[in-house]
Structure 1
Amino acid sequence: MNPRNFLLSTDYPIDKVVYQTTRTVTVGAYGFSSTNFAHGLPFKPLLVAQYSPNASYIPLYAVGSFPVSAGIVLYNTAIEADATNIYLAISNNTASSVTFRFNIYAFQPSGTPEAITSHTSVAGDTFSISTDYNYTKLIMSGVTGWVSGASASVTHGQGIVPQVMVWRENQSDGRVSPVEVGSYDGSFGLDYLIRVTTSTVSFANIDPFPSPARYHYRIYADE
């Protein structure tokens, strides 16, 4: 049966959130700030993060996105993790001091030993699972080999363009960061290329002087 027809399918695993935290960072007008803190996990977590410049959390942006007003990028944000710490970097390109509020959670990478953690995925109220919500069905997860200039790909064979989440791990410093899935020509300074088709997900470095990187991925039976 098509798993997309179900709110929840026991034929597929459900994402388990192994880490959750919030952080607040104030950055002055036209300023930059960076901070790091220990995550306490026995692996490099696959981070997902959102932030808001307002106490109401409206609007809410994905970390790494670039909100623009009148042709000006208002804020630049980045998040990374290594085996010990989580690193946040924020640029405020406005004329006023801004307090940024971050919501951060993480998955466990494939191929790492199971760890006992205090968090499970909670949607909505106080229930771990609620049929009021639709749950993504994880069909594949893993990590590519090291890619340097060449490309790597995985075959999902779903016949649709599925929902995909990707994180890039740099060999040089060992840090892992979430990356946007899509096609880029490098004109915005991005040095990776990730394409999703109805049968495959492909990964490539497109920097003229690429350093080796590998890509952690999670593919879902959802469009």
Structure 2
Amino acid sequence: MAIKRSSDYRGVAVAAVILVAWFALLAYLLQSSFDFSSPLTYLFILVQTHLYTGLFITAHDAMHGVVAPGKPKLNKAIGTVTAFLFAYNWYPRLLPKHHQHHRHVATDKDPDYHSGSFWPWYLSFLKQYITWWQIALMAITFNVLKLYFPLWNVILFWMLPAILATFQLFYFGTFLPHRGEHPADNRHKSGTQAKNHLWAFISCYFFGYHYEHHDKPYLPWWQLYKAKT
């Protein structure tokens, strides 16, 4: 008789750590005093940006079914929540676009790809994923938050990190790996950064190892470093 393996909840635990850390730090920063002359202020902005990026990376892993393997409803729920917290992205809309990217990487059918320089590509990327209702919800949330918290706290620790995270995700996860020409034997049409696990984590949760992600999309972000040779 075959023995049924227990479910792997490590991905759920990792997702929970990111989600709780993002919420706890945001709650703390929104009501804390800060000093523009203090390096700690800018460190907090960078940490919150990284946690915002972690929300999207978690949603991305859910698109590959690796947050809660074998638990599709839980996996989808986590992906939906984390995508929504990242500027009100809608998981069911992101899911087909991301798999289209994997099927047609760096072609005219790839929604993430644009044959051009950084800024035109970035704007093209935003147009693919940002909707008017997201902008409206962000505007409503901004105006609600500033009723309860100081304006500059809302700008620096809620709004700015979300914007910076889009740059982080685009630059390290799309622009750098997919720009330029790739050798004919590069079947994933994806580049990869030099092996440095600390920088790979800090820059974009190991997604600088982008060829490795396309080659082994079943690996969650926290195991992706193992594919780097």
TM-score range for the pair, normalised by the shorter chain length: under 0.3
Work out which structure has the larger RCO, using CA pairs closer than 8 Å and 6 or more positions apart in sequence.
Answer: 1
Tell me the TM-score normalised to structure 1 length.
0.27
Tell me the TM-score normalised to structure 2 length.
0.26
Q: Which has the higher strand share?
A: 1
